Homo-oligomer: A and B are copies of this chain.
């Protein structure tokens, strides 16, 4: 049996709320706060803060679109369900990201969304969003950009599920999270996973046990250090070559 050092990593940092600058709808807020526009959107958004506890539902598939959500702090999972009850997680959303925009197409939510931990969101009612997307053209642009990123993310997940092995899947997952934390001004090398091993396995199409084993092997190989949900990436280059990014 190989000796594994099981290196300690720092305590989880307090989950601080994102600044508006790092928020996915900052573009929207900034636009309506330009020289010639009033503060109504920002005010509406700021007034509509909502808190979801771990496990609470934001919306269900098929429900009429009420609002889209920007995550100020915390994290959320999106998933779809078969008629025989099997679940496929289709995305994790972290602080600063926006979800629910896919619902704009059909005017109803296309998936279910559930908080992974205590999560504070800015709720943007759809009528407010639509009114402003008419008044301020670049809001429309911003929304389309987020929606097209959603399509690309889905395609990337299809590729991962259809064509990658377990090592590639987990490496891809960790590097994607890393990149997204960096974009929101968090550390790209050290972060806390708010989802369970089981959720990761579900998302990546592998068994929970396999997720654990790959984590352990990556740790043995000096690629990263983990302690439960705290992760420290030690060799991003090698992870990239494993993920084939």
Query: Which residues from chain A sit less than 8 Å from chain B, CB to CB?
Result: 80, 82-84, 86-88, 90, 102, 105-107, 110-111, 144-145, 147-148, 151-152, 154-159, 161-163, 202-203, 205, 244-245
Contacts and interface: CB of A to CB of B under 8 A. Distances in A.
A109 B184 CA distance: 28
A148 B83 contact: no
A105 B153 CA distance: 14
A82 B152 CA distance: 12
A80 B158 contact: yes
Given A105-B147, A105-B148, A106-B144, A86 B155 contact: no
Nearest to A155: B80
A159 B90 CA distance: 9
Main secondary structure of the interface of A (DSSP, over half): helix
Contact of A154 (B147, B148, B154, B203): B154
A151 to B, nearest CB: 5
Contacts of A88: 155, 158-159, 162-163
A185 B145 CA distance: 37
Contacts of A158: 80, 88, 90, 154, 157-158, 161
A146 to B, nearest CB: 10
A206 to B, nearest CB: 9
B244 A84 contact: yes
Given A88-B158, A161-B161, A163-B88, A110 B80 contact: no
A203 B80 CA distance: 20
Contact of A110 (B84, B111, B155, B202): B155
Given A106-B144, A106-B145, A111 B161 contact: no
Contacts of A86: 159, 163
6 contacts: A80-B156, A80-B158, A151-B151, A154-B154, A154-B158, A162-B203
